[in-house]
């Protein structure tokens, strides 16, 4: 476990409900992340997370914003500080007194690496959509029509091909879908519909 955080408590419960604005979050993203492809990934995960919070979980605007922020910032420190991945963004969000639920979701988006189990619905869905989103986007780049006409069957085929987007963990995708209690095809179809941003 190369990025083990060695803790399970994140943020301060007194900060529950404290959210940074989308402008602040995007500023942080632009300051910390130089890679355009990584920025795109984080924005895609944010879009899918917000849509899920709204369409599936029926959350209000504040709830949707929480999920969106977790998606938008989950990999913010990967670009410049890969060896400190997750630790830097967690410390930054704690310094900014951000709602601990957002920080915890970020801390648990890779349980095998960070040693933090996804517990809440937001935790589980961020874990579920992170790797899946990357694979779906890679697939869109090789299709003449991009996202248009893409379906779960085609994505599943790519999932079985271990040489395609080899850095994407098939194990994590399967584990995350199981933890979320959702059918993988449902997650794939939802991501296809909402991440083309």
pLDDT tens by residue, 23-67: 999 999 999 999 999 999 999 999 999 999 999 999 999 999 999
The confidence score (pLDDT) of residue 81 equals 93
CATH number of the domain residue 51 falls in:
1.10.3210
Domain presence at residue 4? no
Q: Name, in order, each residue with C-beta under 8 angstroms of 185's C-beta and a sequence gap of 6 or more.
A: 152, 156
**2 pLDDT tier (thresholds 50, 70, 90):** low
For residue 28, give Cα distances in angstroms to 59, 127, 144, 186: 25, 21, 34, 32
Q: Is residue 101 part of a domain?
A: yes
- Give the integer Cα–Cα distance in Å for 103 and 96: 11
In this prediction, what percent of the chain has a pLDDT beyond 90?
A: 91
**pLDDT recorded at residue 67:** 98
Residue 1 lies in a domain: no
Asked whether residue 1 carries a pLDDT value surpassing 60, the answer given is no
Instruction: Report whether pLDDT(102) > 70.
Output: yes
d(CA 18, CA 116): 22
For residues 70 and 130, the answer to whether their CB atoms sit within 8 Å is no
Residue 3 counted as domain residue: no
Identify whether 6 is part of a domain. Answer: no
pLDDT attached to residue 3: 77
Tell me whether residue 8 is in a domain: no
**In whole numbers, what is the pLDDT of the chain averaged over residues?**
95
Domain span at 63? 13-194
Q: What's the structural domain count of the chain?
A: 1
Structural tokens at position 45: 């995960």
pTM score of the predicted model: 0.95
Q: Are 180 and 125 in contact (CB under 8 A)?
A: yes
């Amino acid at each position: 476990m190369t990025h083990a955080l060695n803790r399970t408590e994140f943020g301060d419960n007194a900060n529950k409900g404290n959210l940074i604005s989308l402008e602040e979050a995007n500023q942080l993203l632009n300051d910390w992340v130089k890679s355009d492809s990584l920025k795109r990934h984080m924005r895609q995960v944010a879009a899918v997370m917000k849509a899920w919070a709204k369409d599936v979980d029926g959350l209000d605007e504040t709830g949707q914003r929480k999920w969106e922020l977790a998606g938008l910032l989950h990999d913010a420190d990967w670009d410049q500080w890969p060896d400190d991945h997750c630790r830097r963004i967690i410390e930054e969000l704690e310094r900014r007194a951000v709602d601990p639920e957002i920080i915890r979701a970020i801390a648990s988006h890779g349980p095998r690496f960070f040693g933090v189990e996804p517990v809440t619905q937001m935790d589980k869905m961020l874990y579920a959509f992170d790797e899946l989103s990357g694979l779906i986007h890679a697939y869109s780049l090789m299709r003449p029509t991009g996202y248009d006409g893409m379906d779960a069957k085609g994505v599943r085929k790519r999932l079985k091909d271990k040489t395609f987007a080899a850095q994407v963990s098939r194990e994590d995708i399967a584990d995350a879908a199981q933890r979320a209690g959702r059918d993988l095809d449902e997650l794939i179809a939802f991501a296809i519909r909402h991440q083309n941003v």
